[in-house]
Every structure is written in C-alpha cells, then in structure tokens.
Chain A
C-alpha cells in the first residue's frame, strides 16, 4: 500500500457485487454514445462518398454544412445530452446510497485524519476507478453494435444504404464514448463526494449516522398499517434519495415517451401504405379513359398479387347540407374493395368510422378532412344524379401534397356507388402490386398488355420499406435498451435502499416484525418511488413529447395531430410497476437469507 488511495481498488474488490449495477450504468451510457456517434459518422461518411461520387471532391466541413449532415450530428448531440443526464442521475443515485451506507466508514476516516478534500478525492477516484473496465467494454460493445447495424443496413435495408462503410472504426464514436463515461462519473460523483466529506467524524464514535431525521409520522393510522406507514416514511424521509430515484424513474419514462415520437416521425417521413403500388398505369389527361377490361386482363397475370383501379370526377357542383346548407364543387373518387380495406389497414380513418357501410352499392361515402373543414359525418351531399351521405372521415387528405384538404371536399365511394352516380366504368388509374418473385420479363409482359396508349410507371425501386424497417429497428432497439436499463435501475435502486436499512430491518425483526410485514414495508417504499416517478415522468414527459411532436412532425406534416400516447404510457407504467414488484420480491428474498443476529452484529 503506497497511498491512502490504494484502498480504492481493495475496497472495490470487496464491494464487487454492489458496484456491478453502477458499472453497468456506465457501460450502458458509453455503449449507447459510442454506437450512436459511430453510426452518425458512418452515415456521414456514406453521404460524403455519395456526394463525392456525384460531384467529386467533398470535405467533411462541406457535409457539416448540409442539412443531412447537420441533422445526423444534431440528433447524435441531443442523444448525447439525454444519455448523459440519465447516466448522471442513475450513477448519482447509486453513489448516493453507497455513500449513505458507509457513513460510519467515512466518519472513521475523518476521525483518523482524512481531510474533507481527501474524502472528496477518495469518492471521485473510487467512481473513476469503475470506468477502468466499464468504459473499454462499453466502447467495444458500441463499435460492435455499429458494425452489426451497418451490416444490417447494407444488406437488408434499401438501396440508399448500399454504400455504408463496413467494419470501420469511428474515432468520433470512441472518443465521445470515453468522454461520456468519464464525464458522467465525474458529474455524478460530485454531489455524493461532498456528502461523504460532510460526514462528521463524531459518527465514528457515536455510531449515529448523523443524518437520521425524526420523521413526523403517526404510527397509528386508520387506513394504513404500521409496515405501510414505515415504508412510506422511509421513502419520503430521505429527500435526496427520493429525488434521485424519482428523477431517474421519471427520466426513463420521459425518454420512452419521446423516443416513441420518433417512431411516429419515421411513419410520417416514410409512410408505408398497404395500397402502395409497384406499377401505376394512368391516363395521359387524368380522364377516365383506361379500358375497364384492361384491369381484368392484368389481374389474370401470374406475377400480379393485387390490381385495383380508381375512377375520378372533378369539381362536381353539389349542395352540402349539414348544420348549414351551402354549395360547393366536390371531387369524387372510386375505390374498389381492396383499396378501401387498405384505407382501414393504414389507419387513415377517424375513430368511429364504420367502413362496412361504404362497400358495394350504397349512398354512403368517406370524406377527406383536415382541422379547418366544416363538413362532418352525417352531412348529405346532393349532386346532379343523386345524393351521398358522409359515413366517415379520413384523418387527412391523401390526394393533396401536404395532406390538407384546403377546403376541398373529396368523397371516396365504392366502385358500385360511383358507377351508379356517374355511369362511368373505365378507370383513370390502375395500380398493380406484383408478387415478390416477379421478374423483369413479367413486368415487360404487363407493359406489353398495357400498350402505348397509357402512361406506364414502374415504381418498384421507390419502395422505402427497407429503410423504414431499418430506422424502426434502431429506434425500437434504443427503446428496448431504455426499458431494460430502467428495469435494472429500478431493481437496483430499491435493492440498495433496502441494503442501506438492513440493520434497521434486523432490529425490527428482532423485536417481532415478521417477514411478510418486512415485505409490505419494502413494497410500500417501492410503491412511493414508482408512483412519484410515474407522476413526474408523465407531467414532464407528455408536454415534452408534444413539443417534440410539433417540431418534428406537425411543423412538416400539417395534418398530424398530437394525441396523448395512452398505449406508450400504459406500457412504460406497466414496466415501472413490474420492475418495482420484481425489486421488492428479490430484496425481501435477500433479506430473508440473513439471520437476525447476523444483520445486527454486522459492523
């Protein structure tokens, strides 16, 4: 032993088990940042190569000036801060309880001459010592994850990722990972270090932790029994601990809610429609001039999965009567049964719409819609040859560029209804979905059948499905990690809080508290953490998710409306409750293993 600091590795070996969660937290933060930044750099390199190929000679500075490059690194930077905050909160709460548990140790250290400064240095270095293994492992995992993601993108995603570099090491990724690890630990350790330095030396001789407060609780309560009252008072009496655990629970919820917005964002950015076609055939003048029989002919071809046509009439004068009566020109478009089903599958219909009324020969139609429209379900539209009633609304206008109806009412009817109203049976647009194994020869056959009369558009290479899945995969991976780390962290926080009170529980059992009462006490404590965490998480997370939704989605897709993400909230709350339950179970089980005398006599 050369210095008093040599105690750190020795003590670390002794507390290997209890430090493992903290090390995992560091590893997780480093891993996430390394992976995210490595991916950002790979993305940037790919974009750079693409630009260089196109225009020749581009530098990274140029890329940083482009919108694409900026968004890559901005996203990475935001993620960096989010991960930093969550890492700091988690590690800080772990360190806080680890210091609280060692009050007597620090008191004794102060007693035998450790100065406040030395105590602060001790706790800081102790925390930094965890980085020795966690940071390199986190970096390695991060680099590995980036490689796997690049491989997946290159071979399973769309054409646009064909140039993504494989097995390249990102210096930016490694550096930011290392910086993240050390920064998290240093920030996280600063408050607990001060807390340790504040332990008065008298603690060593008196054995009183000094920070034990008299909690003003009545041990007799009409609604709650003693274990519950004690558990709740344990949770609320240690304010700092409550704050740290609550914040890290809340942060998990906030992260989860906000990353869910990204899922929606990708959905808006690359809408995946069930009715997306591989080949479109349309008339040269947008008229209904495509022969009705052509559709029958194509549907008989072997390589065709689905074929469906649309007819359209524009600007039909109509009288709309709902709450008020007014005249307007409306468009009417026919959808066949498959097309209508796809509308439902794509979630285009507003709640309460019964699409079954639209099928076949009826007087019912669906209407496009946006926030500024004044028509409603139930309105009657009179046109020259009959009338239609609006049976349901879409949540946007799929026929306009920006998704807004802009005051123009477009009605969607079934084939039969359309033909009855207009007498038109030929199509203006035929859409084809080909089978997966369709060959170029097959496509050529369709082209031949169509002939030169109409416009033939092969859209197979425009599919964004691969990219869409790749993005979703990344976001869900991240969400999964957030959820997983939350579970671990919740279990660890509660277990540490229980360990800190082990001796107290020992005394309680010695004076007659039974095991189930102990479990109830721990459960009530955990319940308070989960409850406050959920409340704070939702109170902060929901407005944040709304703001993010508006910035990312509503600003670009005017028809998008933010709704309270009830499913996501339910999922994450369920996660929190489940983790808390597991934590209580495992902590109570651990306590049962010790005999009362062992706990009491433990130094």
Chain B
C-alpha cells in the first residue's frame, strides 16, 4: 500500500527570465514502511522536493497524497494539524529549542496538540535513543550526535507515518552517523514508519530500501537496493 504519492510536481522559483525550475514534473510513490534515500548534487532540487512533501512549501503544479489525502487541498489550519500528527521532520542543523531539556524538546509536538505525552512511549524512545541519562540536559550540553538523536525523538513522539530527514547526518562523524541511520531504520521497522532521507553519502544511500536520484529537477528511481 502506498503511503506517499507524488504526482506531477513542478516548482518554479521567480518569474520570467530569472525563473528557476527547481522540480520538473516529478512523480513517484513510496510504500508504507519504506526507507527511501534521496541523492543528488547540491542545488538539484532535493530539499525543495522534501519541503513540498512535508507541506512546508507549495508546488507550482501537481499534487501530493499522504495516506491518500491530498495535502494541498487542505486549509492552512487543517494542514498544520495534519503535519503535526503525521509528519516528523529531522534537520541537518538539529533545530532544537535551546532553552528546553532533551525530554521537553521531545514531547513538545505532543504539547502543541494539547495532549499528555505517553510516558511509556517516551521512556521507550529515550532508551532506544540512548538519551535516558541525558533527559534533563540542555541541547548546549550535548554532543552533535546526541542532539540529532533528540531531534529524532521529537520527530517520532507523535508516531507520524512519514519522517522527512534533510541530511540528518550532515553534521555528524562516522560513528554517530551509523548510530543515527541505525535508529531511523529501527524506527521504520518497529513502528512501520515511512522515511524519506536526503543524503550525500553513497554508503548511507546503499543501506536504504530504495534510492531516488534528483538531478536538475528531475527524479529518477534507481530502484530497490535490497529486498
């Protein structure tokens, strides 16, 4: 069953002579629980694609369906709630709230939904993320790897069906990189979450279920790496 369907997405920045075609008629679909790596050179349109899938940016043309729902037909308010509940984001620069502790950062999206965090699940996440003894630390007191694991925790806490990661290991050393990738894969397996991850590393891309290559705004499916 497809969790994500991208249909004829185009994105043009600017107008007239100065216009840039960031994405050109992109279509593909992703299965539930699939772990997809998106590769491509800088400026090829990878981040634009991810931002559009995450409804952070609007396409010039085309549609995106998540769980069979046309996300761009939703009104702003509904879309925010949908994003909050169904999509988790992980950024290269972590983007944690510096004033909050690890635990508070993780549960923040739940609080935005006026819910009480599921304590058991939180404990589970903290254990999986190896952050139990760091739960009361501030981001500034953590290593890069720990910060990124916190950001992963924040992306997972709402149990979203889709996780979008924009070079989550870009700021990490090889040890932390493999830890983070392992975690994402574990999440994808354990909670049946679909993951789209931008990466520059061929090695990481090879560990994904499938690789999409973006070049000059055109997406080519490199197919499944492993079954």
List the interface of chain A (C-beta within 8 A of B).
1-4, 6-7, 10-11, 13-14, 104-105, 108-118, 200-202, 204-207, 603
Contact = CB atoms under 8 A, between A and B. Distances in A.
B99 A205 contact: no
Given A201-B56, A201-B83, A204-B95, 4 more contacts: A108-B95, A201-B55, A202-B56, A205-B47
A111 B91 CA distance: 11
Nearest to A104: B95
Given A202-B57, A206-B47, A116 B111 contact: no
Nearest to B155: A112
Contacts of A108: 95, 97
A603 B98 CA distance: 9
A126 to B, nearest CB: 12
A113 B56 contact: no
Contact of A3 (B77, B97, B98, B114): B114
A112 B91 CA distance: 11
A113 B99 contact: no
Given A204-B89, A204-B91, A206-B47, A113 B100 contact: no
B49 to A, nearest CB: 12
B41 interface: no
Given A4-B112, A11-B99, A110 B51 contact: no
A13 B95 CA distance: 20
Contacts of A10: 99-100
Contacts of B84: 112-115
Contact of A205 (B56, B113, B154): B56
Nearest to A105: B97
Contacts of B99: 7, 10-11, 13-14
Which 3 residue pairs across A and B have the least CB separation, nearest first? A113-B84, A202-B56, A4-B111
Interface residues of B, number: 33
A199 B66 CA distance: 24
A113 B80 contact: yes
B107 interface: yes
A205 B112 contact: no
Max count, chain B CB within 10 A of own CB: residue among A112, A115, A116: A112
Contacts of A202: 51, 56-57
B47 A115 contact: no
Contact of A14 (B54, B77, B98, B104): B98
A390 B97 CA distance: 81
Contacts of A3: 111, 114
B59 interface: no
Contacts of A116: 76-77, 80
Interface in B90-126: 91, 93, 95, 97-100, 104, 107-109, 111-114
A410 B93 CA distance: 86
B93 A207 contact: yes
B225 interface: no
8 contacts: A4-B112, A6-B111, A14-B98, A112-B112, A113-B83, A113-B158, A116-B76, A204-B95
Contacts of A105: 97
Contact of A1 (B55, B104, B114, B154): B104
A110 B114 CA distance: 15
A118 B112 contact: yes
Contacts of A109: 112
B12 interface: no
A1 B109 CA distance: 12
A112 B154 contact: yes
A114 B112 contact: yes
Given A11-B99, A204-B56, A111 B111 contact: no
A112 B51 CA distance: 13
B112 A110 contact: no
B5 interface: no
A112 B97 CA distance: 11
A115 B77 contact: yes
B100 A205 contact: no
Contact of A110 (B50, B80, B85): B80
Contacts of B76: 116
Contacts of A112: 84, 89, 108-109, 112, 154
B34 interface: no
A112 B158 CA distance: 10
Contacts of B158: 113
